[in-house]
Amino acid sequence: MAETRHRASRQRQAKIMTAAAGSAGRAAVPLLLCALLAPSAAYVLDDSAGLGREFDGIGAVSGGGATSRLLINYSEPYRSEILDYLFKPNFGASLHILKVEIGGDGQTTDGTEPSHMHYTLDENYFRGYEWWLMKEAKKRNPDIILIGLPWSFPGWLGKGFNWPYVNLELTAYYIVSWILGAKRYHDLDIDYIGIWNERSFDSNYIKVLRRMLNVQGLQKVKIIASDNLWEPISTSMLLDSALWKVIDVIGAHYPGTHTVRDAQLTQKKLWSSEDFSTLNSDVGAGCWGRILNQNYINGYMTSTIAWNLVASYYEQLPYGRCGLMTAQEPWSGHYVVESPIWVTAHTTQFTQPGWYYLKTVGHLEKGGSYVALTDGFGNLTIIVETMSHKHSTCIRPFLPYYNVSHQLATFTLKGSFSDIPELQVWYTKLAKPLERTLFKQLDSLWLLDSGGRFTLDLQEDELFTLTTLTTGRKGSHPLPPKSQSFPLSYKDDFNVDYPFFSEPPNFADQTGVFEYYTNIEDKGEHRYTLRQVLNQRPITWTADAANTISIIGDYHWSNLTIQCDVYIETLNRGGVFIAGRVNKGGILIRSARGVFFWIFSNGSFRVTGDLAGWMTYTAGSVEVTAKVWYTLTLIIKGSLSSGMLNGKPLWTNIHVNYPKNGWAAIGTHSFEFAQFDNFHVEATRS
């Protein structure tokens, strides 16, 4: 029996090295001879001298901003399938952490997310989709860690200033209300709370926030600061013991796998609290695989959180397809499980928060790295990556050149791991299509007679997980429907009495917030409408436009007719528009070009070539006033454009040579109340 086990061990050793070299095609015997004759670098994995830092998990961000906007519009079963790939344990990405934006009504990269308090006395904990997303994540993984972080804030907190720290108690109350609302209305326990994404922190505010959390019985909610750079927060903590006491985690963004001395001197947990934000191609997957290991090896970071969770926003917005997977076609049901999902699985499916890194981790001799983690009860997971420079460059920061080459790496298990009999093996190769392999389980590796030693034949752009856990799985659902463009004919009358979400499908707010609205006194056609609900500029995170705007449709639309009923609520100064060929959004929204058809309550109209109104094609007087419904029609065909008011031509054949294509849009002249109804687009693509 012993001889049988010994022979099986040798055979499986040969199999694992054959598979490790890439795809099938290399013979076992030559490779085994290569491994026996060629020199190999030696690495020891040992817990005899104690363990390294506690592992806090791998996660992703929904928000910053509106990055999950289109996900909620998917029909079943596709929406649930996408969520499974993100959150379901031992299935796909199996994320440990979900970080969401605390909506603040402002533009925060790809759109705006609504606040739970637009105004001082206004509280509504059912706006937006982050509540729903957190519940769906919890439904799949009850142990998932939840984090909230504000990017922008509603304007009333600033008291006329674009600054959230004017009244520290008021801002702390606003944030604590969000945490309490999560529990009261959705039974969600928020685990961590942040300060202000990538902006200034106020030491006194952080202390006030901690006191208010404690007063409200939220002692278990921990504080992350400052979600920007390692400095100046680290130095501030070393110089201020009261500040040091109330901060639980130092979170830095895009640290390039490195930290700074002062951050380590604080002896606090160090996280890469936002990272990745890279196109989810195989190069992006290589970026993600490299930093998941090296953030700890180089910078002692015990958690890495990707921006963003799922690319579920119009692709031509900034940072298109920079999510772990892609789900940007709710109208077709199509989605793509991109390679970063399976790179994530190499770590998340075989570790959990509360495990510990070994002290014996590091870089491979000829490029790449290895980490090892244990649960302290005999389980061990080893992750090895050999991502090349060319195929693992992240969007930021700059990556200094390094080289990765073919190598043999011999690992020896010592300490409490020396008697491990078997390791499960999972393998990824990011390469040309014929060699590409994503999260494939190979034959297990038997160590019964090897003295805890095994050798891996490592090529460029490979990822191995070797683990005692047997629960790993490459989950799958039936293939989703094929990709389709946004419908050329699209209508929405907003006739929803009790909407499940506050925003209608497919509209992506870029400045301002557009919500379903019920006119209680209107018993006719316009009882249910879409309303722009902000009348005050928010405390901005980026350069929001002076006008509010929501885009929809296909960026490639060229010839189109847009019709919409509009209702100006502001006397004398109010104005609304419909638009086509809108060519920019997100953080670039201020410079959006297109064809914009405006009417104003002072009895005038304008046609402009940009959202800001610097380029006027034509203008004039018109019989328009506030508190009356009008129907606007915008026709764009080739280089000519015409417009109608209530079905009658108002201007015809204006030359509009640029841009050639873009989204449709609606909006208001300023932050003002206005309503829209019976939206209709007929379009053709260029």
Residue range 564-593: average pLDDT? 98
Decide if pLDDT at 29 tops 70: no
Residue 28 lies in a domain: no
- Same structural domain, 448 and 507: no
Q: What is the pLDDT of residues 517-571, one digit of tens each?
A: 999 888 889 999 999 999 999 999 999 999 999 999 999 999 999 999 999 999 9
Q: What is the pLDDT of residues 213-229, one digit of tens each?
A: 999 999 999 999 999 99
Q: Which band of pLDDT confidence, cut at 50, 70 and 90, is reported for residue 24? A: very low
Residue 459 lies in a domain: yes
Q: Give the pLDDT confidence score for residue 432 in this predicted structure.
A: 82
Decide if pLDDT at 8 tops 90: no
Is the dihedral angle over the CA atoms 531, 534, 539, 545 positive or is it negative?
positive
Question: What CA–CA distance (Å, rounded) separates 200 from 223?
Answer: 15
- Same structural domain, 429 and 525: no
Burial code of 628-664, b = ≥16 C-beta within 10 A, e = fewer?
A: ebbbbbbbbeeeebbbbbeeeebbeebebeebebbbb
Total number of domains in the chain: 2
CATH number where 579 lies: 2.60.120.560
Tell me the one-letter amino acid at 300. Y
SS3 content of the chain, % helix, strand, coil (to 5): 20, 35, 45
- Same structural domain, 158 and 292: yes
| Of 165-169, 314-318, 523-527, 588-592, the least confident | 523-527
Structure tokens at 492: 């929405």
What ranges make up the beta strands (E) of 342-478? Answer: 356-358, 362-363, 369-374, 380-385, 407-413, 422-429, 437-446, 453-458, 462-467
Decide if pLDDT at 392 tops 90: yes
Supply the residues annotated as catalytic: 198, 274
Q: Which band of pLDDT confidence, cut at 50, 70 and 90, is reported for residue 453? A: very high
- Same structural domain, 457 and 495: no
Q: What is the pLDDT of residues 150-168, one digit of tens each?
A: 999 999 999 999 999 999 9
Residue 287 lies in a domain: yes
- Same structural domain, 545 and 450: no
CATH number where 295 lies: 3.20.20.80
Q: Which residue has the tokens 């994320």?
A: 95
Residue range 347-351: average pLDDT? 98
Residue range 183-209: average pLDDT? 98
Q: Which band of pLDDT confidence, cut at 50, 70 and 90, is reported for residue 38? A: low
Residue 480 lies in a domain: no
Decide if pLDDT at 370 tops 90: yes
- Same structural domain, 513 and 404: no
- Same structural domain, 500 and 641: yes
Decide if pLDDT at 11 tops 50: no
Question: pTM of the entire structure?
Answer: 0.95
| Of 19-23, 51-55, 360-364, 488-492, the least confident | 19-23
Q: Which band of pLDDT confidence, cut at 50, 70 and 90, is reported for residue 33? A: very low
Decide if pLDDT at 37 tops 90: no
- Same structural domain, 288 and 198: yes
Q: Which band of pLDDT confidence, cut at 50, 70 and 90, is reported for residue 433? A: confident
Residue 473 lies in a domain: no
Q: Give the pLDDT confidence score for residue 686 in this predicted structure.
A: 64
- Same structural domain, 372 and 254: yes
Residue 73 lies in a domain: yes
Q: Give the pLDDT confidence score for residue 364 in this predicted structure.
A: 98
Decide if pLDDT at 7 tops 50: no
- Same structural domain, 218 and 183: yes
On average, the pLDDT of the chain sits at 94
Residue-level length of the chain: 686
Taking Cα atoms as reference points, which of 333, 334, 343, 337 lies closest to residue 306? 343
Decide if pLDDT at 204 tops 50: yes
Q: Which band of pLDDT confidence, cut at 50, 70 and 90, is reported for residue 431? A: confident
Q: Give the pLDDT confidence score for residue 151 in this predicted structure.
A: 98
- Same structural domain, 520 and 660: yes
- Same structural domain, 416 and 451: yes
Q: Give the pLDDT confidence score for residue 684 in this predicted structure.
A: 83
Q: What is the pLDDT of residues 464-498, one digit of tens each?
A: 999 999 999 999 999 999 999 999 999 999 999 98
Structure tokens at 151: 């990017």
Decide if pLDDT at 250 tops 90: yes
Decide if pLDDT at 19 tops 70: no
Residue 32 lies in a domain: no
Q: Give the pLDDT confidence score for residue 236 in this predicted structure.
A: 98
Residue 8 lies in a domain: no
DSSP class of 539: B
Q: Which domain holds residue 407?
A: 51-467
Residue range 412-416: average pLDDT? 97
Question: What CA–CA distance (Å, rounded) separates 526 from 519?
Answer: 7
Structure tokens at 166: 């004017």
